[in-house]
Every structure is written in structure tokens, then in C-alpha cells.
Chain A
Amino acid sequence: MDCSLVRTLVHRYCAGEENCVDSRTIYVGHREPPPGAEAYIPQRHPDNRIVSSKYTFWNFIPKNLFEQFRRIANFYFLIIFLVQLIIDTPTSPVTSGLPLFFVITVTAIKQGYEDWLRHKADNAMNQCPVHFIQHGKLVRKQSRKLRVGDIVMVKEDETFPCDLIFLSSSRGDGTCHVTTASLDGESSHKTHYAVQDTKGFHTEEDIDGLHATIECEQPQPDLYKFVGRINVYSDRNDPVVRPLGSENLLLRGATLKNTEKIFGVAIYTGMETKMALNYQSKSQKRSAVEKSMNVFLIVYLCILVSKALINTILKYVWQSEPFRDEPWYNHKTESERQRNLITLARPEGNAKCQIFVVLVMGRGNHAGLSQFLRAFTDFLAFMVLFNYIIPVSMYVTVEMQKFLGSYFITWDEDMFDEDTGEGPLVNTSDLNEELGQVEYVFTDKTGTLTENNMEFKECCIEGHVYVPHAVCNGQVLPNASGIDMIDSSPGAGAREREELFFRALCLCHTIQVKDDDDVDGPRKSPDSGKSCVYISSSPDEVALVEGIQRLGFTYLRLKENYMEILNRENGVERFELLEILSFDSVRRRMSVIVRSATGEIYLFCKGADSSIFPRVIEGKVDQIRSRVERNAVEGLRTLCVAYKRLIPEEYEGVCTLLQAAKVALQDREKKLAEAYEQIEKDLILLGATAVEDRLQEKAADTIEALQKAGIKVWVLTGDKMETAAATCYACKLFRRNTQLLELTTKKIEEQSLHDVLFELSKTVLRHSGSLTRDNFSGLSADMQDHGLIIDGAALSLIMKPREDGSCGNYRELFLEICRNCSAVLCCRMAPLQKAQIVKLIKLSKEHPITLAIGDGANDVSMILEAHVGIGVIGKEGRQAARNSDYAIPKFKHLKKMLLVHGHLYYIRISELVQYFFYKTLYDTAYLTLYNISFTSLPILLYSLMEQHVSIDTLRRDPSLYRDIAKNALLRWRVFIYWTFLGVFDALVFFFGAYFMFENTTVTSNGQIMTTNTHMIFGNWTFGTLVFTVMVFTVTLKLALDTHYWTWINHFVIWGSLLFYVVFSLLWGGIIWPFLSYQRMYFVFIQMLSSGPAWLVIILLITVSLLPDVLKKVLCRQLWPSATEKVQSTRVHGQSRLPELTLLACRRSSSPWATWPGPHAKQEPLSWPPLSSLPHSHSVPVPHGGTTGGQAISPDL
């Protein structure tokens, strides 16, 4: 007993873990059950508050500061600043403190603002009024005050405030319609059913009289699963027990449609709702560039530490000789000597320092300790002295670059969608450059790739194909002409079959007809049948019924369990609906059992071909099968229709079978499935239908471009496998020659998971030799590429850790297979599973950069999980767009986003980072200003404006993307190159100037300049000289790296040099009254009046820029990258157009363009010229035309 108590306690406190406590019990309306009912342990449930904000008013400053100082750089600068405050250093603390303060403040304000917005959103959500029943009356309360057990009333078009059990609705049949657009992305209406015994409670008073308890499972994230039961206590009788399933559950976030109002009882609230459980907390995303930036920073930190260490050691070596330590001309003060002996107290008696010393030295004044402490402070002083090696301003500049740069995305006219009037949105500017790094794209299907807009294309009855004329404007064509007979006209028997087929389609669905009673009255007149609006959980069904309508049969309504059909002769046929064997994803079919007016009982079954054909015993299977396959290849969604006639005895059997299964409390679903299995057999095949889900504009083009750019595209969808596969074909993710590998539940049932996986990996790896190099091209016809199809169930099997603990085994194998497939399709995915997949890839060995794109709320977790999340501003709410890093109006914009913006941003930011590390190396004002003003504006501008290749070229030639893949520009090699360049330049600056001063009398003589200056330069002049050279070199280097000179670039680069000169002149030319020293006074002017100084400056600049220019030119000549080739062909192409452009095209588009050396030399001759062109023409192209060909040879 004690044990169980402890266990429940433990369980309660680890709430949120799956299945901690088996179930929860809810008293509907908080009414205690009558005595004698089962005792239960009371549980506490959270209130209905949703919290997405990070900070509160009170903890903002400490928490935000903590968050910010977790950044290495910020922490480092804080330390430096503190050290500067404590010990005596040559540089003032303001120099490093000010920028740090600036950075911290700006970031804090930005984050604070964002969090404030989140608070506002939360508040709006939590305070929106909710109607609920209290003591038989309707009360309005804020949403956050809702508790488990409250009875809530929801009106039409309102969203449910929490997860509810559906008690009753204003509709007589106890149903309601719901759209879950913001939950799982399906915009279609779904029907939910009220609990049988409570659906009669229509008014507030009634519902208050309800006395019931609900037992249900603990909250879990699966949107489609729910198990529970309700005990309804009526007077004195034993409670009636009813099972509850997901059809009784109304989820938070869903919207009530077509139903005036419903009553429901809250079972999961606040953060325990299925919606909340499906959201992952939004964590800070960091780009790969920032990560490598941090690594480089650590390297520089190491250099800094070792530098300071070496200098400290050298200092003591130096001081070991007394004539150096304290020469006669440079005595130490009394206190300094004392410091050397006892403490490091400064003569001024710096209080902080004293305290520090007292604290540290409190234990005893050991001489050794003090010696060590002295050395340590010296070390710190050196650290501070050299801290400019790590630029504070880099972070400021990077932030600014990102922030300003993101506007270019927002401003982009090409990404503006005129239909919806939406432009792209940038929610996080931190990830701009990550767009240029994507290796995996995970895309949602419905609404992202497709328009989510179904259209009936054709049907095939007994091998005869019927195509309704393209009907536009919703006009119904005359009956007969609505059918196009492609094959010979059918005989009488066929005619009968045909009508049966149409009837089957009219009957076999779960469509509701929306009654707009308030609209014009005689709407229901037979001839205006079109005006009725069909609502269904499946858009396919709507498309089918609408299509059939065009072929002459109109479904009118379901009235008192009778389905009414308007046939070709405008006569109303009535069928009694006996049973609906509803659709599920395992069976992939649905059936209805109807009784016709003549008393015959039919079973109509409609479903995916793979689930229908095995159950068919009669019919023209072969013809239909070939037609279905043809349609599937063309990317249409196909369904097969079959029927069978039931004799009354059979129907009796069916009824009992179903009833038994329906009332089963345990394993109900399994039993139902078994029953369905028994009923749906021995069917007679009627025909097949084809429905098209229109692809989004240029979706295929985009996918093709992405694949050419070396990005792997995965489609993750909650849709059926067949449909999804068809879409994949349509959008050219799978080609005709793609060998499809299936990893589905069905296959796993046949063999064990183990076998399937090994077999697949064998198939894949057989080709891997040729794949490793070629699979990127995605173009060559002879190449074998693989496409993998996996479904959610199989995935969860793979992801599930095995009992023996070797959980990683299957995952590895699975990853291996995936890596070798050019395209992967995951279907039947729950939102969290999508995220799981993304995570799996994200954490795999190569740590690729992933991008997720989706439009619905079901994609949110995936969008949050991926490195870059992109939301499509679609029809289904803005959940995805709000949670994404970027939002675009259409899928096709992804192409420009990645190939152009991503590319440019990546080039820009990598150059920026490297440049900052490069330019790191005197009077404090100069030191502060160096990084901030003299050299940072040009690079910022550069990083905003640079286009090393024109936008057009980038768009036309996706293969250029590969040049920058995998963080290519921030690899160690490049980093070391830049560092060496920096060191080399620094050496040149210093020693160049040093030797000048040492050996040459760098003086100017008065005869040329002014009469009385044969001055000798002092140390300040030396510094100024080095500094001038540095500013010029660094700026000119940038000028050399700039490929794209706009007037702004000119203005800023030359302007900053000018600014430097003017500043120096001013700084040195005037005695500034607020400065106590005038050591820079006239130094710059004096320097410029000296001839040799000019010569030195010019020489040093030349020398330090020379190696870089040389390297650039040589590399370009010998090992040009694809990008550089394109750059040069642009020039050549203009001068000698015909031959050279052809060459250029072939060079840049062929897959070996990125592999220099032997490949490039040998292969071009054996490569059939533009071999891919005919191939891409031969692929059946439902959309987009021959875009593939155009992309290859833009100039032809």
C-alpha cells in the first residue's frame, strides 16, 4: 500500500513523462460520483494557462545576463573588462567596456522586446473568454481559469480552449464538424461524435444535470489516439459505461465548424493538451557559421593566453637582470618596490585591488604566494594588452550584418506572392547564412509541395476511360456530353456497371452537405445541385463527388439515414445507409453498406489499389490495374471502387460482427479491423478514379534545382503512401528510373525488420561505388538512383530501442540506407515523428545542416527541430509561419531563398568573420576606433552588398551551391590561411617599420618640407606609421576581395580611408582641451611631411598585399572553382559568344565541375554533350514543362 502511494507520488511529480500514471479520472462538472463508485486517487491538473515566454518581469535582467554571458565572447570580454578595472594596464577599461556594454544592451533590448511580444500573445490566448456551465448557467471566464472537469460551451468558428470530451451538440445527430488546420495541417472538416448517452443534453440546465465520470489515459502527444471511457450515472441505476475514442475528443487548437454550439468537458488543460505536448520548446538556434566562429575564437584565445604567458616569462627573464629591471633612468616608486615584495597594491591604493589582495592573501603572507600573484597579475595585464586580437566589434558587426541583411529577404520582389499579397517574413535573422549551408531539405507535402486543391481527373470503368470535360467556373455540363468515350462505347451490361460505379462513388463517402439555411431558400432545387457545398475529412472525396456530379450523378444529402442521389434522369434515388466501415490508414479503404429502394443490399468499397485488388474476385482487373498504374506514374491520386451484393443473411452476420467489435472495451480497434477484414472480401471490381492534387507552381522545378545543388530532399507527410509517392513523381523527386525501396509496415509484417533493413542496405550499397560521386548530379539517365519510402509505423520500429540495449544498430543501418538514396519519402508521419526524423539526420555523423519547410501546425515541431525552419504562409493558419525562422508565401520561393540569398549571405558572412580575425593587431582612442570605425563600416557594407556572382547566374546554375556546402569557406584550411596572412602582414608592418627606424634615419629634412623640421620620429610616430599602414592594407584588401562595386562600396571604402586621414589630422592637429595629454599632437602631420615615411607606407602596403593577390590569381588560374568559372565565363561570354558559352555551360553544369585535376581533364571527351536534355524531355511532365533542360543550358 505504501509502495503504491509512493509510486503515485513519484508518478505525479514526473508528469509529462509518457504513461506515468495509467489513467486519470475526471468528474464531469466536478460532481462527485455516487458513493459506492470506485475510489480513486485525486490528481492535480495544471490550469489552462499556456506559457511560451522565457522571462518574467523579475527574472529578466539576471536571466538574460546569464544567457548572454554564456556566450564565450561576451564572457571573455567581461573578464577582460574586470581585469582592466582591477589591475594597472596600459589600456583604459573604457576601451573594452564600452563596446561590451553596447553589445549587451542591444541584445538585451532585442530579446526583451521579443519576449514581451510572446507575453502579449500568451496573455491574449490565456485571457480570451470561454463559456462554461456553472450551476446550470452560462458563465464567461478567462481561458486560463479553466480546469479539468469544467463543462465548456463552444460556438461555431471558435477554437476549443482545451482538450474536450464531446458531450452534445446543437445538431440533432450529436455530431459536429471540426477543422484541425492548425493542428495537423488538414484543412478538411472532420466529423466528431458526441457520447451516445449525453447527446440529448442540449441546454445548460440539462447538461448541468449530467452526472458522470470519465476515465482516460494520461495526456500523450499522439493526436490521433485516445482511449477512455465514460460512466454516466442515471438515477439509481448502475452506471452506463461507454467507450471513448478519438472521435469523441475535441482537441485544443481545432476549430468548430458548421455546428452552432457544442458542450464538452475539459479533460486535458494548459500545457497538457495534445497541442501543447506536440510543441517543442523553441530553443535558440545557432548557425554553423557562428559555431565555427566560436571555435576560431577559442583558437585565438589559446594564442592569446600563450602569448600572454610567453610575455610574462620573458618579462621575468628580463627583470632578472637588475640593470634592466630598474635602470638608473627609470626608478620604481617606493610603493612599486613594496608591491614587488609584499602585495600588488597600487600606489593609489585602489580599493578593489586591496580587497582582492586581502581576500586572496588572507590566509598568510607567504612570499611564494605573493610572487605567484604578482606573476599572475602581470599575466592578466598582458592578456588585457593583447585582447584586441579578439575583436569585440566582430559580434556587433555580425549582428548588424545579419539584422540589416535580413531586410534584403523581406524586400525581395521575386519572393512576393501577388495572389495572397504576402511577402517573405524573417523571424530570426541569426540564420541568414545558414540558408547557404543546407544539405537536407525536409518538406511537408500537402500545402507545401501541393496546393492542397483536389480536382477530379478521370475515371475508368471496366477499362473504359471517362474524362469529364474540363469544367471551369463550376458550370455543370449537360449530362451526356459530360463523358468522353475514349474507348469503344460500352454495351448494355457495361452501361449498368457504369451507373453502379457512379452510384458507388456517390454513396461511398463520409461527406456532409453544408446546409446554408439562411441563404436563398429554394437552393435545393434539383437543377442547382452544384450550389451545395460538400464538406469532408478528405478532400479527395469532395473532388470525387464533385466529379461525379459532372458526370451526371449528384449526391444530395443524408437525411434520416437515407442518402439521396439525383441521377441522370433527374430522379431522386434513396438509399438507406446501414453501416459505414470508416477509413483507416492500415486498411486504406472504406466501405458503406446501403440498402437500395428495391431492397437490395450493397457493399461499396473504395480504397487504394493495393488494398482493393487482393480482395477482388471478379472484374476486369488487368485493364484497370494498368490504367491505375499509368495514372499513378503521372502523379494522380488513384482510388479503386468495388462492390458486392449482400443477401440479407449475410448482412445479419455482418451486423452482429460489427456490433460485437464496436462494444468491445479492450482492443476495440483491433477487433474492428478484424471485422472489417472479414466483411470486405470477395468484391467485384468496378473501376478506378484519378484525382489530381495540383502541385504548387514550379514545385518540380524547385526540387530539381535543389537536387542539382546537392541538397537532398526528403518529403515528410502525414498522407497515405500512394498519394505521397504520386506527388513525389509529379514533382520529380522520384524519376521513372528511380528504384523505389519500401520500408513499410506491410513489408515488415512479411519479413522481420532486421531482414528488410539488411536487404535494403545491400541493394543500396551495391551501387554505392558509382553513387558516391554521381548521385549528386541527379541528371544522368543511365544512373541508378534509389528512392526510399518509409512509413511512420516502420520508423517508430526503427527508432524504438531494442530490449537488448543495442538500440543504435538499426538506426545506423537506416541512416546508411538513407544516405545512399537520392530521395526519401516518409509517409504517415505524426508531427513528432517528423521532428524525430529531422533530429536523426541532424545528429548523424556528418552533422549536416537541415532545413524543414512546411505550412501547417503539424510541421511546427519539425520546423523547430531543424537548423533552419521555413514556414509557408499557406491557407492553413499561420502556426508554421509564426514558429519558423523564415516564412515564404510559396514553395517555389525556396529556390531563390536558398540558392541566391543563402549563397550570398554565406559568402558575405564567412568573409566577414575571416576578415575580422585577419584584421586584429596604440593610443587608446585609436585602438577603440580601429575595429569600430576605421575598418568596420567597409566590411559591414561589403557583407551587405557583395555579390560575387550575379543573382541571375546563381539562380540558373544550382550546382554552384555545392561550392559553399559544408561550411567550405570556414574550414580550418581557410582559417589558417587567413590567420597566416594576418600574421604575415603584422610582421611586415612591424618589422618593416622597425628596420626603417633602426637603419634609416627616418627623418625628413627641412629643405624639402618646412624649414625647421629635421626632426627625429619618436615612438608615437612609429605607432602612427604602423597603424596607418594597417588601416590602408586592411581596407585595400577588402577592396581587392570585393567583386561587386556599387557606389555605396566606393563611397564607404574610399570614404573610410579618407575618414581615417581626416580623423588623424584632426586628432593630432588640435589640442583637445579635454585630454590631459597631447602625445598624438601633430604626429600624423609630421609623419606625412616626411618623404621616407611615404615610401615606407607604400612599400609596406604593397608587400603585405602581394602574397594574397598572388595566391588569388594563381588559384583562379590553376584550380578554379565552379563559381569562379562562372565569373570568368561571364566576361568571355560577352566577347566570344558562340563557342565559349557552350563550353562554359558544359563545364559549369556537369557534375565534375567541382572536381579539379584528372577528372576534369579526362572526362569531358567521353561525356555525351548535354546528355541529360533528351532525358528530361522524356519524363512525363504533368507540370512545369522542361524546366530541367532550361536550367542546364541557360544560354542555348
Chain B
Amino acid sequence: MTKMKKTSQICQSKLPDNTALKQQQLPAYRLQLSATGVLSGFFATGAFCLGVGIILILSAKSIKEIEIKYTKICANCAELREDAINFDKECTCSIPFYLSETMQGNVYLYYKLYGFYQNLYRYILSRSNSQLVGTDLKDVGNCAPFSKSHNGTPIAPCGAIANSIFNDTIILSYNLNSSIHMEVPMLRSGITWWTDKYVKFRNPSAINLSSAFTGTAKPPYWSKPVYELDLEDTENNGFLNDDFIVWMRTAAFPTFKKLYRRLNRVQYFIEGLPAGNYSFNITYNFPVTRFKGEKSVVLSTLTWSGGSSLFLGLTYTVTGAVTWLAAFSMMAIHLMLKEKRTLFIQR
């Protein structure tokens, strides 16, 4: 008797728990791809894609965009910049153009580079973050070969990215008539990521910037030191210069666009850019022919859906169409099979 008890106890202890998890019997929902479910799913996806696609196309169409490649237009300047010896010679170039329609709303001015590889591995790493947040100007870690000047003083900002900053000056002027040329007011602020401007880039603390940067040298290709980047706005100097910050955010592809200015909507330009004659006055500094690249200047409006390209909209539309096509053919197959099946049952 006692033996029996004992064995049953042993049995119990060895008997696995009867829990749903252990017996693989957890309550579960079985995903069943029923015909109607799948078909309606497909149709819904298709409808959604088509809808979004059409909206995107429409919104992209409403965007006005003008792009002017000025490497060839300013061929003489380009030629001059071919040789690094002429670095101190100034070269300007004026590009007139006609805006047939008013660009309404916010207008943005971009520069665009072709064939400039900002995504080269060594290039991307060639910067010093501790310098850029203003903690240690002497830290030039990864910046070689742009880390120290000839006399051994550390370069600030060091590295290939900073050294190769886009240094053309683009000024848009509105030709109200043949005699009155007025400069279109542009804002040079608010073109960076907020976090970049207020967290990732900091000037070294000092009474004034120039004293803060004593003991450092300017990057070799720069004409001015970093604290004199913007002579008009003293706040926009040093590492906190907007153009500098924009440049420092490296692009993913060799062809890229970077925001340069945005329209200050005052006076004539309260509605945007009115139609009429304009011209870009460009101080041509940035050499591109040396790497067989090109540069252009872009004026564009924006909507919620981004830029002027139809690509996204088209892709959506095509995807939607394909989905519907698939759904229809599936429906056909399904109906065919169903007929066969009922026939079979009847027999």
C-alpha cells in the first residue's frame, strides 16, 4: 500500500505540467487566408496605393522648381578654378533667367553638386566631434591630413569635410525692370536641423570668437578663419554658421542638394517669388571641374509631400495598379476553381 503511494507520488512528480504552453496548446488565432479576405486585402492595398499616388502626383505637379547648372555658363570661372594657384583671384558670374510663373509660398534656394562624393569612407570620418561641440579645439583625432597646419598648429575646424566647404556665394536679384535690380531678401538662418544648431555644434566659450580660436589655424582651403564666416551676423559665426552646419551633414549620394537660403517673404515677395526676370550673381569659388563634377543652383517650393519629383507618386500609382491587376487575376482563378469544385461535389 505504502509502496503504491510512493510510486504514484513519483509518477506525479515526473508527470509534466499540464500547462497550455508546455503542451503547445496555447489559445491561438489561426491566420486563415480565405479567398475573400485575401482579395479584399489586395483591393484595399491597391486602392490605397492608387489614391496616395494620385495625390502625390498632383501635389508634386503644383510644385515649381527651377534648376540652373552654372558650371558651363560660368566656364571662364570654372577654368580659373581648375588651377589651385589662382585661389585668391576673385571670379564672379551672372546668370539671368526668366520666371514665367509666380512661385507661391515659401521658396527655397539650394545648391546642388554632381559627382561630389561626400559619402567616401575616409571623408565621412574626417572630422572631430569634440572640436565641433567646442570642448577641445586641440583634438584633431581623425582629421589627417587636414589636422595640422604647416607650422603645427591644429586646424579648426579640422578634417576633409570642413576643409571642402561649399564656398560659392549666390545672390538672387530681381530685375523689376531693366533699370531696377533689387536683391531678393533671403534668410540664412533656419536651414539646419535644430539639433545640429543647438546641440551638436557649439562654439568654444570665450569673450569673443576670435580669441576663442586663437592657437588654431584656418583650414588650408579657406580664405577666412572660421570666426569670420558671416560678417553681417556675428551670431552666425564659428561652428554655429548655418552653411557650415549644413555642409557638415554629409550627403548619401554623389549627387546631392543642400539648402542654401530661404526666401524672406517681405515687400514684393510676400506672396513668394513673382514672375519676371531674375539673375543669380555668383561668386565662383568652389572648383568642380577638377573632379569632373558640376554644380547648379535650384529654386523650389515645397509641399507636405516633399519636392517636385513625380517618382514617389508614380511608384505608388504603379504599385496600386499592379496590386489590382493581381487581385483581379486572382479573383478569376478563384471563381474558376470554385466552379470546378461545385461540379465535383454535385457528381
A291 to B32, CA, bound (A): 33
A1012 pairs with B190, CB closer than 8 A:
yes
Q: With an 8 A cutoff between CB atoms, is B138 at the interface?
A: no
Bound: A1006/B333 CA distance, A: 49
CA A1113 to CA B327, docked complex, whole Å: 10
| B56 and A413 form a contact (CB under 8 A) | no
In the complex the two chains form, is B347's CB within 8 Å of A1165's CB?
Answer: yes
Which residues from 260 to 306 on chain B have a C-beta closer than 8 Å to any C-beta of chain A?
Answer: 262, 287, 290-292, 300, 302-306
Instruction: Tell me the bound Cα distance from A781 to B52 in angstroms.
Output: 62
Asked whether A106 is an interface residue with its Cβ less than 8 Å from the other chain, the reply is: no
Residue in chain A with minimal CB distance to B163? A329
A1117 to B34, CA, bound (A): 10
Q: Is A90 an interface residue (CB 8 A)?
A: yes
Note all chain B residues with C-beta closer than 8 A to A1023. 252
Which residues of chain B are within 8 angstroms of A407 by Cβ–Cβ distance?
22
Interface assignment of B17: CB less than 8 Å from any CB of chain A: yes
Q: Are A1043 and B31 touching (Cβ within 8 A)? A: yes
Interface string of A410-435 (1 = CB under 8 A from B): 11110010100111000000000000
B residues 35-90 touching A (CB-CB < 8 Å): 35, 38, 45, 49, 52, 56, 84
Pair A996/B312 contact, Cβ less than 8 Å: yes
Binds B, one of A64-72, A320-328, A1149-1157: A320-328
Asked whether any CB of chain B lies closer than 8 Å to the CB of A52, the reply is no
Option from A997, A1020, A1143 in Cβ contact (under 8 Å) with B345: A1143
Q: CB-CB < 8 A to A408: which residues of B?
A: 22, 24
- A1016:B246 contact, CB within 8 angstroms: yes
Judging by beta carbons under 8 Å apart, are B84 and A328 in contact? yes
Q: Which of A331, A1010, A1017, A1118 contacts B252 (CB 8 A)?
A: A1017
Q: How many angstroms from the CA of A997 to the CA of B119 in the assembled complex? A: 14
What does the 1/0 interface line of A990-1018 toward B look like (CB < 8 Å)? 00101111111111111110111111111
- Please state if A1110 and B326 are interface contacts (CB–CB under 8 Å): yes
For residue B180, CB closer than 8 A to chain A, the reply is no
A1004 / chain B contacts, CB cutoff of 8 Å: 304, 306
Contacts of A1116 in B (CB 8 A): 33
What's the Cα separation between A1081 and B133 when bound, in Å? 13
Bound CA–CA A700/B177 (angstroms): 103
With an 8 A cutoff between CB atoms, is B97 at the interface? no
Query: B residues within 8 A CB of A347?
Result: 144
Known: A992-B315, A1165-B347. A327 touches B290 (CB 8 A): yes
Known: A323-B292, A1086-B193, A1092-B305. A1117 touches B337 (CB 8 A): yes
Cβ of A996 and Cβ of B124 under 8 Å apart? no
Are B252 and A1022 in contact (CB-based, < 8 A)? yes
Nearest Cβ on chain B to A915's Cβ, whole angstroms: 17
Within the complex, the shortest CB–CB distance from B319 to chain A, in Å, comes to 6
A1140 to B338, CA, bound (A): 13
Cβ-defined contact, A1000 with B312, below 8 A: yes
Residue in contact with A329 in the complex, picked from B11, B160, B246, CB distance below 8 Å: B160
Residues of the B chain whose Cβ atoms lie less than 8 Å from the Cβ of A1049: 28
Contact B257–A1001 (Cβ < 8 Å):
yes
Q: For the complex, is A1127 an interface residue (Cβ under 8 Å from B)?
A: yes
Q: Find residues 1153-1178 in chain A having any chain B CB closer than 8 Å to their own CB.
A: 1164-1165
Q: How far is the CA of A334 from the CA of B121 in the complex (A)?
A: 17
Residues of chain A with a CB closer than 8 A to B258's CB: 1016
In the complex, the chain A residue whose C-beta lies closest to that of B27 is A1046
Q: How distant is the Cα of A1127 from the Cα of B32 in the complex, in angstroms?
A: 8
Question: Least Cβ distance of A113 to chain B in Å?
Answer: 23
Q: Point out the residues of chain B lying under 8 angstroms from A1011, CB to CB.
A: 190
A997 near B309 with CB under 8 A, answer no
Q: Please provide the chain A residues from 1065 to 1104 with a CB less than 8 Å away from any CB of chain B in the complex.
A: 1071, 1076-1078, 1081-1082, 1086, 1090-1092, 1095-1096, 1099, 1102-1103
Verify if B203 is at the interface (C-beta below 8 Å from A): no
Contact A1015 B119 (CB under 8 A): no
Q: Which of B110, B194, B311 contacts A1000 (CB 8 A)?
A: B311
Task: Decide yes or no whether A736 CB sits under 8 A from chain B.
Answer: no
In the bound assembly, the distance between CA atoms of A396 and B32 in angstroms comes to 31
Query: Are A1048 and B26 in touch, CB under 8 angstroms?
Result: yes
CB-CB < 8 A to A992: which residues of B? 315
Q: Is A524 an interface residue (CB 8 A)?
A: no
Q: B176: CB under 8 A from chain A? A: no
Q: Does A1058 contact B (CB under 8 A)?
A: no
Is A1131 within 8 A of B300, CB to CB?
no
Cβ-based interface call for A1139 (8 A): yes
A328 to B160, CA, bound (A): 9
Can you list, as one digit per residue, whether each of A212-240 has a CB less than 8 Å from chain B (1) or not (0)?
A: 00000000000000000000000000000
Q: For residue A1014, which residues in chain B have a CB less than 8 angstroms away from its CB?
A: 106, 108, 190-191, 259, 262, 302
Docked complex Cα distance between A995 and B38 (Å) = 30
Shortest B250–chain A CB gap in Å is: 5
Tell me, rounded to whole Å, the shortest Cβ–Cβ distance linking B326 to chain A.
5
B26 contacts A1047, CB within 8 Å?
yes
Residue in B closest to A1075 when the chains form the complex, CB atoms: B129
B194 engages A328 (CB within 8 Å): no
A416: chain B residues within 8 A (beta carbon): 14-16
Q: Does any Cβ of A come within 8 Å of B212's Cβ?
A: no
- Residues B24 and A951 in contact, CB atoms below 8 Å apart: yes
Kindly provide the distance from the CB of A989 to the nearest chain B CB, expressed in whole angstroms. Answer: 13
Given contacts A331-B160, A1000-B311, contact A1095 B252 (CB under 8 A): no
State A1047–B29 Cα separation when bound (angstroms): 9
Q: Identify which of B49, B259, B326 contacts A1016 (C-beta below 8 A).
A: B259
Q: Are B56 and A1018 in contact (CB under 8 A)?
A: no
Query: Which chain A residue has the least Cβ–Cβ distance from B193?
Result: A1015
Distance in Å: Cβ of B50 to nearest Cβ of chain A: 12
Q: Cβ of A1102: which chain B residues have Cβ within 8 Å of it?
A: 45, 49, 319
Known: A329-B163, A1019-B119, A1081-B195. A997 touches B253 (CB 8 A): yes
Residue-wise interface mask of A (1037-1058) relative to B, using a CB-CB cutoff of 8 A (1 in contact, 0 not): 0000011111111000000000
B241 close to A (CB within 8 Å): no
Closest chain A residue, CB of each to CB of B84:
A328
State which of A327, A1015, A1165 has its C-beta within 8 Å of the C-beta of B117.
A327
Question: At the interface, yes or no: B181 with Cβ under 8 Å from chain A?
Answer: no
Smallest distance from the beta carbon of B210 to chain A beta carbons, Å?
A: 26
Verify B330–A1117 contact, CB threshold 8 A.
yes
Q: Is B164 an interface residue (CB 8 A)?
A: yes
Q: Contacts A1091-B305, A1099-B312, A1117-B337; is A1010 near B194 (CB within 8 Å)? A: yes
- Asked if B119 contacts A1013 (CB within 8 A), the reply is no
> Is B199 on the interface with A (CB-CB < 8 A)?
yes
Residues of B within 8 A of A1013 (CB): 193-194
Q: Which of B103-118 contact A (CB under 8 A)?
A: 106, 108, 110, 116-118
Question: Chain B contacts of A1044 at CB under 8 A?
Answer: 28, 30-31
Tell me whether A413 and B307 are in contact (CB under 8 A): no
Q: How far is the CB of A25 from chain B (nearest CB, A)?
A: 51
Are B344 and A1164 in contact (CB-based, < 8 A)? yes
Q: In chain B, what residue has the closest Cβ to A1018?
A: B249
- Closest Cβ–Cβ distance, residue B199 to chain A (whole Å): 7
Besides A1004-B306, A1086-B193, A1106-B319, 5 more A-B contacts (Cβ < 8 Å) are A998-B255, A1012-B192, A1019-B251, A1022-B253, A1044-B28
For the complex of A and B, 9 pairs with smallest distance between CB atoms? A1001-B307, A329-B164, A411-B22, A999-B309, A1022-B252, A1092-B306, A1019-B252, A1000-B309, A421-B11
Hey, which bits of chain B sit against chain A, CB under 8 A? 7, 10-11, 14-18, 22-35, 38, 45, 49, 52, 56, 84, 106, 108, 110, 116-124, 126, 129-130, 141, 144-146, 160, 163-164, 190-195, 199-200, 221, 246, 249-253, 255-259, 262, 287, 290-292, 300, 302-309, 311-312, 315-316, 319, 322-323, 326, 330, 333-334, 337, 344-345, 347
27 A–B contacts from the bound complex (CB under 8 Å): A324-B117, A328-B164, A328-B287, A329-B163, A330-B120, A330-B122, A330-B164, A331-B146, A413-B22, A416-B16, A421-B11, A1001-B110, A1001-B308, A1003-B259, A1007-B304, A1012-B190, A1014-B106, A1016-B257, A1017-B252, A1045-B30, A1046-B26, A1076-B141, A1082-B195, A1082-B199, A1095-B316, A1114-B330, A1118-B333
